[in-house]
A and B are shown apart, each in its own frame.
Chain A
Amino acid sequence: DIQMTQSPSSLSASVGDRVTITCQASQDISNYLNWYQQKPGKAPNLLIYDASNLKTGVPSRFSGSGSGTDFTFTISSLQPEDIATYYCQHYDNLPPTFGQGTRLEIK
């Protein structure tokens, strides 16, 4: 199975800050990577697919980049409603594994 290593596991930032989360795959997954946002008690919500494509309706402050094994998720200007846990997930092959999550808090 492909292992997805996300960092950091938790992050505290101020409103307006630029926030970056990284995800590393244990082998080349091309660009077969999703980024999700999950708020407490809710289902995950897809934000980014194919590593860098913003899902329709998702604010442009969210972005993704990378290919191969190293990927980055960025919030350009943190908003209070962005408080959530963020997960990466590959879909190169089965099983489609997830990163362990990054819990984002407001400082």
Chain B
Amino acid sequence: RKEVEQDPGPFNVPEGATVAFNCTYSNSASQSFFWYRQDCRKEPKLLMSVYSSGNEDGRFTAQLNRASQYISLLIRDSKLSDSATYLCVVIPFSGGYNKLIFGAGTRLAVHP
């Protein structure tokens, strides 16, 4: 089983829609969680952190459910510019916080 699993999509949604992605992780000792965004043929970039209490940044909300071992990303009022692949990232504690585990990504396509 992969350490971090995501639905690859694509999620095809119209502008203005609300869309949510989930990501599950297998290591219950994982400590830190993040979402990265990767545009087509570009490098990944940090989008936001995920906290147990939730984290909101404008139209984006990230949440963590430790009991069920998943994190989620909610995008409200989708824009064309939100079209990208969203990567779930987990930092496990294995002798130190020194590596990132990336999910394979969920592709979002927002259409007019």
Q: Do A and B bind each other?
A: no
Q: Which A residues lie at the B interface, using CB under 8 A?
A: none
Q: Which B residues lie at the A interface, using CB under 8 A?
A: none
